[in-house]
Amino acid sequence: MDRKMIVAGNWKLNGDRFLVQDFLTGFADTSFTKVSPILCLPSVYLATVQDANFALGAQNVSEHTSGAFTGESSVAMLKDVNAEYVIIGHSERRELYKESNQVIAKKLSAAIDAGLTPIFCVGESLETRESGAMFDFLTDQLLSAITEIGIAGIDKCIIAYEPIWAIGTGLTATPAQAQEVHSFIREFLAEYDTDIATNTTILYGGSVNAASAPELFAQQDIDGGLVGGASLKLKEFLEICQAAE
Ligand code: PEP
């Protein structure tokens, strides 16, 4: 098994150029061997980063290549400012900006075609979980992506399982709850291709912090985390990266 361990920070609409500088300095002397740290910054700061000891990611991308789409950034633009990763399908984009499974699938396709690695987010609401429809819901999210990009496209993605009820709420899924879903996702992928199922990096996201990370990352099918709030605190984010080493 040669899955990569990854810890990706998602700054959302937070931070400024001074915080970016703090992270550049704070990471300068780090030498992680197993874990690859990624920071998904607000897109205006991507171009300010040089010689970082972490990889760069964006938080969103347009499914279009160019044209009259005010406020959007294309895959080519993100690549131009050295982003290697892009979060696609985050629940905040799904909920607040009404991004459908179909739009998300188009974004995945555009990113993969351009050589960006999508961090493809899936996850259920508490209502869906409690209604017993969680696995069907996750299946729909995964299936609509596979229909567009094929299982070969999934091979080029990182998947992030982010239960909506755990994002920004301080409620972390228990390691057992998270492992159950990660294992379900891997079994789902195995129906298409067992090698891809084994090798796909699947991150957990939802109020991960320095205290919860070690046990979460020790689960068999959890390959690191997608971290929101705690990724804004340099010391804690470094501790979370360390927990994935
Ligand atoms: C996220 O934004 O993807 C996230 C998981 O946020 P938080 O860690 O703050 O819950």
The CATH number given to whatever domain includes residue 176 is 3.20.20.70
Mean pLDDT in consecutive groups of 10 residues from the start of the chain, 245 residues: 88 98 97 97 97 97 98 98 98 97 98 98 96 98 98 98 92 94 98 97 97 98 98 98 97
pLDDT of res. 2: 65
| Predicted pLDDT at 4 | 86
Give the residue from 30, 27, 36, 26 showing the smallest Cα distance to 57.
Answer: 36
Angstrom distance (rounded) from CA 61 to CA 238: 27
33-42 in b/e form (b: 16+ CB < 10 A) is eebbbbbbbb
pLDDT given at position 41: 98
Q: Which atom of ligand 1 is nearest to the CA of 170?
A: 10
Does 90 participate in catalysis according to the annotation?
A: yes
The confidence score (pLDDT) of residue 147 equals 97
Provide the residue range defining the domain that includes 40. 5-243
Q: What pTM value is reported for the model?
A: 0.97
- Is this complex's ipTM strictly greater than 0.90? yes
Count structural domains, the chain: 1
In this predicted structure, what is the pLDDT of residue 172?
85
Determine if residue 168 is labeled as part of a ligand binding site: yes
Q: Specify the ligand 1 atom closest to the Cα of 90.
A: 3
DSSP string of 14-57, one letter each residue = ---HHHHHHHHHHHHT---SSEEEEEE--HHHHTT--S-SSEEE
Q: Is 11 annotated as a binding residue?
A: yes
Nearest CA to ligand 1 atom 7: 228
Q: What are the two backbone dihedrals, phi and then psi, of residue 200, each rounded to the nearest 5 degrees? A: -75, 130
Residue owning tokens 């690859």: 36
CA distances to 50, 149, 182, 245 from 205, in Å: 27, 23, 11, 17
The answer to whether 142 touches 185, Cβ cutoff 8 Å, is: yes
Identity of residue 243? A
Catalytic residue status for 162 = yes
State the CB neighbour count (10 A cutoff) for residue 212: 21
